[in-house]
Structure 1
Amino acid sequence: MMIRGKDVAMSMLAVGTAAIAGYVLRNGQSRTSHARSKADVGARIVSETEIPADATVVDVSSRRLRELPGARRAIKRAVSNDAREEWEHVTLETNGAWEVVDGIRRSLPYHDGDDGEYNGVYVRYGSSIVVLDAIGWAHVEEPLY
């Protein structure tokens, strides 16, 4: 069997065209149909007696706390609304919202509560102590198209 140059060129042209078309379609689709993640960052006021003995209390001016989107806003809402019974929350609907959840648990002294203790990061905001956590739900929303 003899392979001609013209046959090889046509085959390479067909394969190359298919590869370019696939690349263009993939890049065009990724720009318009990113999956978005959602997460709720919540905060509520706790009394001094509710701070677990082994929990570290972080000051609100902490650089790591400032770097977490929505965290300071949730804390300020909790304090301004005197949220002792309910969580004040901020919903983040951006690509990478899960990174905020990970940031709360990894970059700050996160407390895993026992028997009635709140899970989260305990934060001093003025004369108030606020517990901050990723609450409610977090999921990936797939595009419809």
Structure 2
Amino acid sequence: MIRGKDMAISLLAVGTAAVAGYVLRSERSRSRTSRSKADLGARLVGPEDVPDDATVVDATAERLGEIPGARRALDRAVRNGARDEWEHITLEQDGAWSVVDRIRQSLPYYQDEDDGGAYNGVYVRYNDRIVVLDAIGWARLEEPIR
């Protein structure tokens, strides 16, 4: 009888620990996989570098203002005179990956089909300068998908 009671208590303790571990792991896993990153890059180009068939958006455009981090990336590129390198803003939040789609679908996104050397992205008139804005996104996968 004592042996059965000890066994029941041991099983109860192991079962409780297993359930607690599962709950903690699933909460941690959910928070990791729901977060994503998007990296917005911006750089200055000369007016002669704007492709003939690219639409140039004004920096004050409402749709541009609705994209998280876009104004910061544009400001940083202009402030730092970014002609040789992209100035990056990294967004790390739930749904950040959707920024890539929003830039490419809600703004006149230029895609260089001919590989003529033009930058892919949204061409933006920022006062008297032209800035190219583009975004890449990636899902953060910290655990293997099962």
Counterpart amino acid of residue 89 in structure 1? H
Superposition RMSD in Å: 2.3
In the alignment, residue 117 of structure 2 is paired with which amino acid?
G
Aligned twin of 1:125: 126
Aligned amino acid, residue 33 of structure 1:
S
SS at 2:88's partner residue?
A: strand
Q: CA deviation at 1:143?
A: 4.7
Residues 74-85 of structure 1 correspond to what in structure 2 (within 5 A)?
A: 74-85=73-84
Specify the alignment match of 1:46 in structure 2: 45
Spell out, residue by residue over 1:84-118, the C-alpha distance to the aligned partner (whole angstroms, 9 max, x if none). Answer: 00000100101111110001100000000231010
Percent identity between matched residues is 58
Q: Shift of the alpha carbon at 1:33? A: 2.5
The letter of the residue matching 1:75 is L
Q: State the shift of 1:32 in Å.
A: 6.0
Q: Provide runs of 4+ in structure 1 moved above 3 Å.
A: none
* 1:112 matched residue in structure 2: 111
Q: How much does 1:141 deviate?
A: 1.7
Separation of aligned partners in 1, 2:49 and 2:122? 13
TM-score (norm 2): 0.74
Aligned length: 120
TM-score, normalised to structure 1, is 0.75
Corresponding residue of 2:12: none
